[in-house]
Amino acid sequence: MTERIYDFTCTECQITVEKWQKADDNSPLTCDNCQKPTLKRNFPAPSFKMPRESQHGFDGNGARVRFGEAGRYNPKTGKIDT
């Protein structure tokens, strides 16, 4: 398996560094600052997919609509303007 670059944070001195490591290797790395094997890999936040116009959702009142057809919410009336 190939190596990738990951962000690591030292649990001892709280420094964050980038290091190369294989994806399936979870062994702790040695911190260059405090010289202890306390670097833990930071995992990125999950990403999300924006809905396409062909996908369906709800208009805020429980009615099922296609994205792009829902219109905008009007706070004065409490309804969706189409």
pLDDT value for 47: 67
pLDDT value for 8: 92
Q: Helix, strand or coil for residue 15?
A: coil
pLDDT value for 45: 73
Q: Say which amino acid occupies 66.
A: R
For 39, counting Cβ atoms within 10 Å of its Cβ (0-12 exposed, 13-18 middle, 19+ buried), the class is buried
Mean pLDDT for each consecutive 10-residue tract of the chain (82 residues)? Answer: 86 92 84 92 74 57 61 72 66
DSSP string, 25-78: --PPBPPTTT-SS-EEEPPPPPP--PPPTTSEEE-SSS-EEETTSS-EEETTTT
Domain ranges of the chain: 3-41
